Structure 1
Amino acid sequence: MSIYQILMPKLGESVVEGTISKIMVSEGDTIVEDDLLLEITTAKVDSEVPSPVAGTVTKIYCEEDQLLSAGTLLMDIRLEGEEDDEQEEVQETEVASTEQERPQDQTKRFLSPLVKKMMNEYGISLRDLEKVQGSGVGGRVQKADILNYLAKQEEVAPPTQKSHSESFKSVIENPSPKVQTPEPEVFTANGDYLEMGNTRKVIAQRMVESLSTSAHVTTVVQADVTSLVQWRKKTNPQVKEKHQVSISFLSVFVEVVTKALKRYPKLNSSIVGDRVLLKKDINIGFAAATEQDDLFVPVVKDCDELNIIGISKRVQKLIDKVRDGKLGIDEMTGGTFTLTNFGSFKGLFGTPIINQPEVAILALGNIEKVPAVIETELGDVIGIRHKMYLSLSHDHRIIDGMLAGKFLQAIVEEIESYNPNVI
């Protein structure tokens, strides 16, 4: 018989696990293509998982409220029309993912996202990987195989290399460290308890993990966006008529930040062990909240290949999907830099928490009319200007104050002179 194996979908660079929040089928159920199988909760989204095939659910390996890694086997489906006495043929699919799982470069072995992450984290090369005997189906390398390999390296390392192998100790002794949130002190008070949903629990854990991972520093600057406000007011009616989209301030900052990231690529990087990965793609995420207080970070992919019209259309499409509850996991993964808009609720500025494994996040403050000194040929005068604060939280492990200042200055210079011809 032909069997489809439903695997935990690839959840993105920074999210390698998810919680099974609801199982919608039982063993023995007959299903058709696109029938919903289960719901998965991650740090980014609650996602429904449809079946890519028609058939019968023969085995369910997961349970509700179970936390699982990407690539974990969830259930078996016997294909429609297949008889039990036919030769068994196992096929695998990671549902709810727009990308097929690809092997590591220059190797034909299947590597799960978790194994790839561990290879990068502990400096295991492809040559080293050839020494690892996989214990999974078809000889696949699993987490336990990597840990066994690291343990053997610890045992055979000569004294001169012992310090290098020390970096493996923590993962061998405690392979899945979790940041523990202390229980609050119990006290008596009038009030009602509000249960945290799965999404909010994961967000809380990720925020604490980020603070314990990156050395957070926030730098704040002020920008005069009077010209931008006037340009947008004048241009948007024509843009909407010609391109069926309005240019938002958020879209403008996506474009401007993209240009700054090209000048200062270290802001578009991640720290992998003791190395810095400078990313070639520029994928900018932005924080978007719903009326139910759910927070999502959709990602505008390949920003450096888009003009302001293309960016505006992508941003609006993603916002519509957030509001309609149709945002997919693939639309919230792969981000390299994040924007968050404190100005949506009149906030002047803030100190945002970095979205791991990125190294910086930019907060946009509220645009306000303020009195300001204006330099003219006849001397200084007081005038009304539109101004806003920009606050950049950055990882001080690799980004110092000078680099953060140059990056912010590049954004300010670009935004204060913003005047593209889009008509």
Structure 2
Amino acid sequence: LRHASHTVKVPQMAESITEGTLAQWVKSVGESVAEDEEVASIETDKIDVPVNAPFAGVIKEALVAEGDTVTVGQDLFVIEEGDEGSSPASKKEEPAKSEPAEEAKAAPADSKPVEESKEERAASSSPPPKEPAAKPTAPTKSEPEAAAPSASFSRNEERIKMNRMRLRIAERLKESQNTAASLTTFNECDMSSLMEMRKLYKDEIIKKSGVKIGFMGAFTKACTLAMREIPAVNAAIEGNDTMVYRDYVDVSIAVATPKGLVTPVLRNAESRSIVEIENEIYTLGSKARDNKLTLEDMAGGTFTISNGGVFGSLYGTPIINMPQTAVLGLHAVKERAVVVDGKVEARPMMYLALTYDHRMLDGREAVTFLRLVKEYIEDPRKMLL
């Protein structure tokens, strides 16, 4: 019985994405797949797009090789309807399993008793003659030479083609540097009050909501409150001659993944509590690390927060995520000597860095915004006023 075959094409990925690279064949030719099971993965400059089987069947032919560029609507593979089929590994094992069976069948025929003469039995019972022991050979000159490279220094080089996401990141970073009039302003923040608040209420928050409180929720909330006084931080330049002001704040959260930096978007941060923000950040971060972000998760964004402190960064100047106007860089918390009420004390301090587009923001506005964020963090009770 012959089942109908169907050619699966490269699916629509997004309005702005028309091509990608076939990153991996998850299923091989001859393997059976279930309906909606992933067959291949296409890498784009933003996310990896899975290609699933439209129905249960067997992969009959792969029309594209791994590493090839594919376009939307291009023929990708042929699948035959039906649930029969097996993996290549099982097919290889079948002949191996049949060999012992054939040997077992042949054994009775070979073991048939045969009349032997006394001389033959004597000859067969006598031990075989001993072979002369091989004389030890002197080591050749090549043996010491084989050990020589381990004592020498390596001079190897490896060239790896940049994947689409890495290429896109490089393109956007250069676009930002070439377009925005970037300037960075700095401040330092005493984290004592926020750390004390987290210590007091973290167990209660986990018990009520299951959310582990961190620093990102508080900083995100502080930024949305500071934007009420300095709305230009959340605005953007459109068409080089128009300024767009927004009454919502969609915060792009920078997340490091094995393939590169991605910035999933936290929608309407201005309307969320600190705990709600922390919960959403955790969800987006998990999706990013598991490579399960969708294009909708990363679309838009009006302001970016990048926390290099989780990797130990003490000081840095983040790059603007165009077409946004500003990005806030958070850094590691370190005990430093500071003057408090005329006395030198050790306090947990963090450097803050705000990189902004000077075409949209004046220095006074940028400095005021960062000072407001600092004040909210140093006294979190202000965020309730």
TM value normalised by structure 2: 0.66
Deviation at 1:338, TM superposition (A): 0.9
Cα distance in 2, alignment partners of residues 284 and 7 from structure 1 = 30
2:191 paired with 1:225: yes
Write the letter of the residue equivalent to 1:299.
Answer: V
- Indicate the residue corresponding to 1:329 in structure 2: 295
Percent of aligned positions that are identical: 30
Select 1:47's aligned residue among 37, 46, 49: 49
2:360 paired with 1:409: no
Going from structure 1 to structure 2, the CA distance change for 1:190 and 1:77 (only over 3 Å counts) comes to: closer
2:220 paired with 1:254: yes
2:205 paired with 1:239: yes
2:323 alignment partner, SS class: coil
Deviation at 1:336, TM superposition (A): 1.5
2:41 alignment partner, SS class: strand
- Indicate the residue corresponding to 2:173 in structure 1: 207
2:168 alignment partner, SS class: helix
Cα distance in 2, alignment partners of residues 259 and 44 from structure 1 = 30
Cα distance in 2, alignment partners of residues 321 and 227 from structure 1 = 31
2:195 paired with 1:193: no
- Indicate the residue corresponding to 2:96 in structure 1: none
Larger Cα-atom Rg: 2
Cα distance in 2, alignment partners of residues 337 and 358 from structure 1 = 6
Deviation at 1:281, TM superposition (A): 3.2
Going from structure 1 to structure 2, the CA distance change for 1:322 and 1:348 (only over 3 Å counts) comes to: same
- Indicate the residue corresponding to 2:316 in structure 1: 350
Unaligned runs of 5+ in 2: 1-6, 82-153
Write out per-residue CA displacement over residues 67-99 of structure 1, whole angstroms, 9 at most, x where no aligned residue.
86xxx5456999x99xxxxxxxxxxxxxxxxxx
Going from structure 1 to structure 2, the CA distance change for 1:192 and 1:298 (only over 3 Å counts) comes to: same
- Indicate the residue corresponding to 2:12 in structure 1: 8
1:362 alignment partner, SS class: strand
Write out per-residue CA displacement over residues 7-55 of structure 1, whole angstroms, 9 at most, x where no aligned residue.
53336xxx656523348599xx99875243653434433332446x559
Indicate the RMSD between aligned Cα atoms, in angstroms.
3.8
Select 1:276's aligned residue among 233, 243, 267: 243
Write the letter of the residue equivalent to 1:258.
Answer: T
2:352 paired with 1:390: yes
Going from structure 1 to structure 2, the CA distance change for 1:278 and 1:240 (only over 3 Å counts) comes to: same
Going from structure 1 to structure 2, the CA distance change for 1:271 and 1:8 (only over 3 Å counts) comes to: farther
CA contact (8 A) 1:228 1:419 kept: no
1:202 alignment partner, SS class: helix
Write the letter of the residue equivalent to 2:287.
Answer: K
Cα distance in 2, alignment partners of residues 298 and 219 from structure 1 = 25
CA contact (8 A) 1:62 1:74 kept: no
- Indicate the residue corresponding to 1:152 in structure 2: none
1:221 alignment partner, SS class: strand
1:234 alignment partner, SS class: helix
CA contact (8 A) 1:231 1:419 kept: no
Write the letter of the residue equivalent to 2:171.
Answer: Q
CA contact (8 A) 2:337 2:347 kept: yes
Select 1:418's aligned residue among 366, 380, 384: 380
Write out per-residue CA displacement over residues 96-134 of structure 1, whole angstroms, 9 at most, x where no aligned residue.
xxxxxxxxxxxxxxxxxxxxxxxxxxxxxxxxxxxxxxx
Write the letter of the residue equivalent to 1:279.
Answer: R
1:241 alignment partner, SS class: helix
Select 1:267's aligned residue among 227, 233, 237: 233
Deviation at 1:389, TM superposition (A): 0.9
Write out per-residue CA displacement over residues 286-333 of structure 1, whole angstroms, 9 at most, x where no aligned residue.
22223x363222221221221111111111112222333323332222
CA contact (8 A) 1:343 1:364 kept: yes
Going from structure 1 to structure 2, the CA distance change for 1:400 and 1:62 (only over 3 Å counts) comes to: farther
